[in-house]
Structures are given as structure tokens and as C-alpha cells.
Amino acid sequence: MDAREDALIRSLLNTEPELRRYYEEHTQLKQRLQELRQKSFLTEEEEIEEKTIQKQKLAGKDRMMEILARRKQQAA
């Protein structure tokens, strides 16, 4: 997500509850992923968790982009 998209998302958080939910989830997943990546060794369970988090983050980002696209269409 680039800085422009992030700024747009932040500006809509108060008016778009669905977007806020995905953004908060994305932020939490990003933090957990950073925690895992700071470890020098991951257990098998942690490796699975890392892959799962990556997939969840991507799916959440896709949903946020869909919401932004809808908003842009409505504004046009």
C-alpha cells in the first residue's frame, strides 16, 4: 500500500466501518508478522502462522482496495 492509498484510507476510517475493520486487522497482522520476522528461528507452527498471516494481509488489502474503488466510483 503506497502513502497516497494509506492517506485516503485513513481519511475514510470514520465514515466506512467496514474499511476501518479491515485496516485495523491489517495493522495487527502486520505487527504480528514483524514480531515473527525478528526471530532468528521459527518453529514449524510459526512458519505456518507466518504464511497464513501473509495470505490474510493480502486478502484484507484486496478488500480495502475494493472499498476504495467503490468510493471512487460513487464520487465520479
Give the pLDDT confidence of 18-75 residue by residue, as tens digits: 999 999 999 999 999 999 999 999 999 999 999 999 999 999 999 999 999 998 888 7
8 A C-beta contact, residue 74 and residue 15: no
Picking from 36, 10, 4, the residue whose alpha carbon sits closest to that of residue 22 is 10
What local confidence, expressed as pLDDT, does residue 75 receive? 79
The span from the CA of 19 to the CA of 48, in Å, is 27
8 A C-beta contact, residue 29 and residue 64: no
What local confidence, expressed as pLDDT, does residue 19 receive? 94
